[in-house]
Structure 1
């Protein structure tokens, strides 16, 4: 009887801990997205030029490494806001380009934003309500993201528009899978650190938005 009670208590504690991670993750995600919007706005208002791609990669991976190293301390919160603020700042010049280069630029940005929100909310809601285990996707997503990242670098360095379009389509699929996987990890205890869960979901949303915007600009942009 005592053993049975301990199992029930342990199970309840596990559920409470899981719910705490989920709540903390979505709260921090909302805050970092809001902070990114502010830094993107600052970049747009100041007419900041796009940063060189190697500086973007150095800043992203450097801050990502720092966030991972600090994930179990309060400095992890400082680091994640530095990371998401930096990414928001790099988004500002991109938004300015679309708003200035296309007569329907504001519509394209709004459509990309709406599409990103619909995909994220739909996939997160599905994973949370069905509680299906998507942990099997981890290895595939890691390889797919690595391939897409290298292909994206190749498309940028060698100016290959067709490959760049294919990479954007790949990222939409991969980031959608990453949202399912990360949400599942939180539900089933595979991820207990809300800072790292937030980083994964934020990066998924960021790449979803930019990839959708790229595709919409190609097929729906009006000069």
Structure 2
């Protein structure tokens, strides 16, 4: 009887994990498509580059997602957040298209997709538990954010490149961590998971684009 109960619990757990994964990837695909639309609109209307000021609406929208993630309103705020980030991509894409052409953008998209599918696929196949990296990733992002702010106000040679490399590595680790959290039951909210993965992809894409654009310049 105990064995039957254990097998039933395991089956239910597997179904829940599959549901969270399915909903996360479906919502992630939709938000990426929506961001592409808003980025195109931003390019068409010459939406201005906001620099660090983009963080203020971003933090507000992120807070709204966190507060509503357990309700249907969370879906609205996820699209509001990702749509806004798509808008902030518009002027960046316009700049690179005007200076280096579309090739770096295509290569950055391909590199981002390769990183995402490679890292998430690795965790899904090996079922590696990445919970041990939680503290390292959170601390790393805090340090990277402080370094980013310092780079914006101080003229320190090489700091901007170091910050970009830090965000690239940490965002890649975050993809593995979030995928691991889903398959091991540590993350059961697909809205939170979607936002984490989307922001990681946003970081990776913009960083790769800056590297490729600089190399082509």
Q: Does 1:135 align with 2:131?
A: yes
Alignment of 1:88-103 (within 5 A): 88-102=86-100
Pair 1:159–1:92, CA change in 2 (3 A): farther
Q: Does 1:84 align with 2:79?
A: no
Aligned to 1:221: 216
Inter-partner Cα distance in structure 2 for 1:100 and 1:154:
29
Alignment of 1:45-84 (within 5 A): 45-54=44-53, 56-84=54-82
Pair 1:76–1:167, CA change in 2 (3 A): same
Inter-partner Cα distance in structure 1 for 2:132 and 2:190:
21
Inter-partner Cα distance in structure 2 for 1:161 and 1:109:
26
Inter-partner Cα distance in structure 1 for 2:139 and 2:8:
39
Q: Per-residue deviation at 1:213?
A: 1.0
Inter-partner Cα distance in structure 1 for 2:39 and 2:155:
26
Equivalent residue for 2:196, pick from 177, 197, 200: 200
The size of the alignment, in residue pairs, is 217
Q: Secondary structure at the match of 2:43?
A: helix
Q: Per-residue deviation at 1:161?
A: 5.7
Q: Does 1:190 align with 2:189?
A: no
Q: Secondary structure at the match of 1:133?
A: coil
TM-score by length of 1: 0.94
Q: Per-residue deviation at 1:217?
A: 2.0
Moved over 4 A (4+): none
Aligned to 1:117: 113
CA RMSD of aligned residues (A): 1.1
Q: Does 1:155 align with 2:154?
A: no
Q: Per-residue deviation at 1:157?
A: 2.4
Q: Per-residue deviation at 1:164?
A: 1.0
1:47-105 residue CA offsets vs partner (Å, 9 max, x unmatched): 11112422x11111110011010000000000000000000100100111111122xx3
Gaps of 5+ in 1: none
